[in-house]
Amino acid sequence: MNKDNERKEPWEQPIYETEYDTSSSRANKRTKKSSNAVFISILVVLLVAIAGILAYMYSISQNRYAKPKKENDIVMKSSTSTAPSSSVTKESNSTVDSSSLEASKAAEAEKQAAAAQKAADEAKAAELAAQQNQQTDQNANNTATDQQNQAVSGDVHVVQPGDNIYRLSIQYGISEDQLRALNGITGNDISVGQQLKVK
């Protein structure tokens, strides 16, 4: 029988396990696929279970932090710490609760009013500072314009930041040596605010 199988072409041979193809037979591949499917399905079930547990824990933690503490609990603790527990009655607790609730509301209203007043004061201060800066800038511009007008109209120039002998000689149409001679300057050193004769 073995000799008959060797003589047949590969496509003529029957499909079943032989001693030569055990590792790569179709039957082995099918069993591997089914065992992989079982493993993957178990893994997916475990991952879904873990995700569910994490979602549940997250929702519990959010509920714990989202709920504000009851003011009654706080008042009860403070009232029991100041008075003996045997003398505190339900009626006095309810009176203390309502008065402390009103006090906390009043304190909150005062905080909000103070915050609003502070914001209004800061806005006024910012507006005042902006007006002062604008006025200072306007005064500086007026002073510079006045000095330039004096320099152009008169025979004296007040040195501004950025002025030098070369620029002034070009501006007034005289040579650098003439400008130095009119003002008794030997070098190129001039200072801001210095008055120079230009004619």
* DSSP symbol at 192: T
User: What is the reported pLDDT for 102?
Assistant: 77
* Number of alpha carbons in the 13 Å side-chain half-sphere of residue 63: 6
State pLDDT tens for residues 115-139: 888 888 888 888 888 888 888 888 7
Residue with tokens 């279970």: 49
Residue 6 predicted with pLDDT over 70: no
Helix then strand then coil, % of the chain, to nearest 5: 75, 5, 25
Contacts of 51 (CB under 8 A, 6+ apart): none
At 120, which amino acid appears?
A
What sign for the dihedral angle of Cα 22, 23, 25, 30?
positive
Condensed to tens digits (0 to 9), the pLDDT of residues 15-42 reads 665 555 555 666 666 666 677 888 899 9
Whole-model pTM: value is 0.26
137 Cα distance to chain centroid = 34
Q: How far is C-alpha 89 from the geometric centre of its chain's CA atoms?
A: 51
Whether the predicted pLDDT of 98 surpasses 50: yes
Q: Return all residues near 79 (Cβ < 8 A) that are at least 6 apart.
A: 88, 92, 93, 96
> Alpha carbon of 21 to those of 15, 29, 77, 132, 150: distances in Å?
11, 11, 81, 96, 111
Query: At residue 14, what is the residue type?
Result: P
The CATH code that applies to domain 147-199 is 3.10.350.10
Where along the chain do its domains lie?
1-65, 147-199
CA 78 distance to own-chain centroid? 40
What CA–CA distance (Å, rounded) separates 21 from 54?
48
- Amino acid identity of 61? S
